[in-house]
Amino acid sequence: MIPACLLVCLSIGAATAAIVPTEAEREALARIENHLNEIRSMHARFVQFDEAGGVVSGVFYLRRPGRLRFEYTPPSPILIVATGRQLIFYDAELEQVTYLPLSVTPLAFLVADQFSFTRNDIEITRIQHDPGVISVAIIDPDNPGEGEITLVFSDAPLALRQWRVIDAQGRKTTVALSEVRTNIPLEDDLFRFVDPNPFRHFEQDGN
């Protein structure tokens, strides 16, 4: 079974219309931009929930630009690595590897060298500022049918706490972060993937 986190990386559902932020909302967005741009690396634990009651957990690594790693805790056989240009999905149980461009993941904007809500590939569909919590929902305006991701931050101090996605069938998935550490050294090897089958590309090419 493909884990729900892959929904974050590969396929999310129907989008809604973009909004024009108010002045207060623009101030909140500016705070979030500044906060995210101060983060060059991150290490955190994550717990992932879906509407069917499924729960999985693991460790999340981020290093900008372009690096991500999701290590799922056994018995989940899944590893997801972004190497700078590629997103690699590995299912150890099936011995299956999928290589995709990093640009297919809605989380790619988080590992851009500089984060901005005014990027051409981001449109804001919803901003909610409740006591102690700020949430921002965004879409890719060039591919609005690919869906919406909502980033959720704690306020005072500002910190990314979770993200939520909706898949093509309308199912919601939440990834919550804990034990977050930022701007720490992360080894290059975390963002490399060595295919256990060295002949896989050779076999796929049919040579």
What's this model's pTM, rounded to 2 decimal places?
Answer: 0.84
Domains of the chain, by residue range, sit at 12-184
Burial class (CB in 10 A: 0-12, 13-18, 19+), 120: exposed
Q: Name the residue with tokens 């809605």.
A: 106
Helix, strand, coil abundance in the chain, percent, nearest 5: 20, 40, 40
Per-residue pLDDT of the chain (207 residues; tens, 9 = 90+): 344 444 444 444 444 567 888 999 999 999 999 999 999 999 999 999 988 899 999 999 999 999 999 999 999 999 999 999 899 999 999 989 999 898 877 678 889 999 998 887 788 999 999 999 999 998 877 766 666 889 999 998 999 999 998 766 677 889 999 999 999 999 999 999 988 877 665 444 333
pLDDT of 195: 85
* Residue 136 contacts residue 123 (beta carbons within 8 Å): no
Sign of the alpha-carbon torsion through 148, 141, 115, 157:
negative
pLDDT of 153: 97
CATH class of 12-184: mainly beta
Among the listed residues 121, 166, 175, the one whose alpha carbon sits nearest the alpha carbon of residue 147: 166
